[in-house]
Structure 1
Amino acid sequence: MAKRNLYLDIKSVDEAAELYLSALKKTLDIQYETIPVVESLERVTRKATYAKYCSPLFNASAMDGIAVISSRTDEANETNPVILKEEEDYLVVDTGDPIHPPYDAVIMAEDITEVEEGVKIFASAAPWQHVRPIGEDIVAGEMILPSNHKIRPIDVGVLLSAGIIDIEVVKKPEVAIFPTGTEIIEPTETPADGSIIESNSRMFENMVTRAGGIAHRFPPIIDDYEQIRNHVAEAVGRYDMVIINAGSSAGTEDYTVHVLRELGEVLVHGVAIKPGKPVILAMVKGKPVVGLPGYPVSAYIGFENFVDPVLAEMCQTPVRKNPVVQAHVSKRLVSSLKHKEYVRVKVGKVGDKMVAAPLARGAGAAMSLVRADGFCVIEQNSEGVEAGEAVQVQLYREPEEVENTVVVIGSHDLILDVMADMMPESHKGMFVSSTHVGSMGGLMALKRGEAHLAPIHLLDETSGEYNIAYIKKLFGEGKISLIKGVGRTQGILVKKGNPLGIKGIEDLKDCRYVNRQRGAGTRVLFDYKLKQLGIEPSSINGYDREATTHMAVAAAVGSDGADAGMGILSAAKAMDLDFVPIGPEEYDFAIPEQYLNLPHIQAFLEILKSDEFHRRLDELGGYTYEKAGEIVAI
Structure 2
Amino acid sequence: MDERRRESGFRERTRIDDARERLRGRVSTVERTETVPVADADGRTLAAAVTARRAVPGESRASVDGFAVAASTTFGASDRSPALLDADGDVGDGGPTGGARRVDAGDPLPSGADAVVPVGGAALVDDTVEVFDPVAVCDGVAAVGSDVAADQSLYEPGRRLRPPDLGLLRAAGVETVTVRERPRVAVVPVGDDLVDDEPGPGESVETDSLTVIRLVERWGGVAERHGPVADDAAAIAGALRDAATDADIVATTGGSGLGESDRVPDALASAGSLFVHGIAATPGESLGLGSVDDTPVVVLPGGPAACVVGAMQFLRPAATWADGREYEEPPTGPAMLARKVPSEPGVRTYVRVRFDAEGGQRVAVPIRTDGPLSHSSVGLADGWIEIREGIEGLPEGDLVAVQRWGWSP
TM range (shorter): 0.7 to 0.9
Partner residue in 1 for 2:223: 215
TM (norm. structure 2) is: 0.80
Q: CA deviation at 1:207?
A: 1.1
Q: Does 1:11 align with 2:14?
A: yes
Q: What are the superposed Cα offsets for residues 110-147 of structure 1, whole Å, 9 maximum, x if unpaired?
A: 633444xxx45455664334332111211123232344
Q: Does 1:201 align with 2:209?
A: yes
Distance 1:246 1:265 in 2: 18
Cα 1:92–1:301 change in 2 (3 A) is same
- Aligned 1:104-183 pairs, distance under 5 A: 104-106=114-116, 111-115=123-127, 119=128, 121-123=130-132, 126-183=136-193
Q: Quick one: which of 369, 372, 377 aligns to 1:368?
A: 377
Q: Does 1:52 align with 2:53?
A: yes
SS in structure 1 opposite 2:212?
helix
- Aligned 1:390-469 pairs, distance under 5 A: 390=398, 392-396=400-404
Distance 1:76 1:380 in 2: 71
Q: CA deviation at 1:253?
A: 3.2
Check the 8 A contact 1:344/1:360 in 2, yes or no: no
Q: CA deviation at 1:203?
A: 0.7
Distance 1:296 1:81 in 2: 74
Partner residue in 2 for 1:227: 235
The residue identity in structure 2 corresponding to 1:43 is R
Q: Quick one: which of 270, 276, 288 aligns to 1:268?
A: 276
Q: CA deviation at 1:9?
A: 4.8
Runs of 4+ in structure 1 over 6 Å off: 1-5
SS in structure 1 opposite 2:223?
strand
Q: CA deviation at 1:63?
A: 5.6
Q: CA deviation at 1:183?
A: 0.9
Cα 1:262–1:141 change in 2 (3 A) is same
Partner residue in 2 for 1:319: 328
Q: What are the superposed Cα offsets for residues 361-382 of structure 1, whole Å, 9 maximum, x if unpaired?
A: 6221221123334434444476
- Aligned 1:223-302 pairs, distance under 5 A: 223-302=231-310
Deviates more, 1:317-326 or 1:77-86: 77-86
Check the 8 A contact 1:343/1:361 in 2, yes or no: no
Cα 1:170–1:4 change in 2 (3 A) is farther
Distance 1:397 1:300 in 2: 9
The residue identity in structure 2 corresponding to 1:51 is A
Q: What are the superposed Cα offsets for residues 575-600 of structure 1, whole Å, 9 maximum, x if unpaired?
A: xxxxxxxxxxxxxxxxxxxxxxxxxx
Q: CA deviation at 1:36?
A: 1.4
The residue identity in structure 2 corresponding to 1:13 is I
Cα 1:318–1:73 change in 2 (3 A) is same
The residue identity in structure 2 corresponding to 1:18 is E
The residue identity in structure 2 corresponding to 1:36 is P
Partner residue in 1 for 2:96: none
SS in structure 2 opposite 1:181?
coil
Q: CA deviation at 1:3?
A: 7.3
Distance 1:273 1:80 in 2: 75
The residue identity in structure 1 corresponding to 2:154 is I
SS in structure 2 opposite 1:176?
strand
Q: CA deviation at 1:228?
A: 2.5
Cα 1:67–1:311 change in 2 (3 A) is same
- Structure 2 residue runs of 5 or longer lacking an equivalent are 94-98
Check the 8 A contact 1:329/1:389 in 2, yes or no: yes
Check the 8 A contact 2:353/2:364 in 1, yes or no: no
Distance 2:73 2:395 in 1: 81
Q: Which has the higher contact order (CA 8 A, sep 6+)?
A: 2
Distance 1:289 1:364 in 2: 23
SS in structure 2 opposite 1:385?
coil
Cα 1:97–1:260 change in 2 (3 A) is same
Q: Does 1:42 align with 2:51?
A: no
Percent identity between matched residues is 25
The residue identity in structure 1 corresponding to 2:207 is S
Cα 1:53–1:269 change in 2 (3 A) is same
Cα 1:64–1:248 change in 2 (3 A) is closer
SS in structure 1 opposite 2:286?
coil
SS in structure 1 opposite 2:53?
coil
Superposed CA RMSD in Å reads: 3.5
Distance 2:2 2:327 in 1: 43
- Aligned 1:407-556 pairs, distance under 5 A: none
Q: What are the superposed Cα offsets for residues 246-274 of structure 1, whole Å, 9 maximum, x if unpaired?
A: 12222333332232222222111121222
Distance 1:325 1:72 in 2: 57
Q: CA deviation at 1:286?
A: 1.9
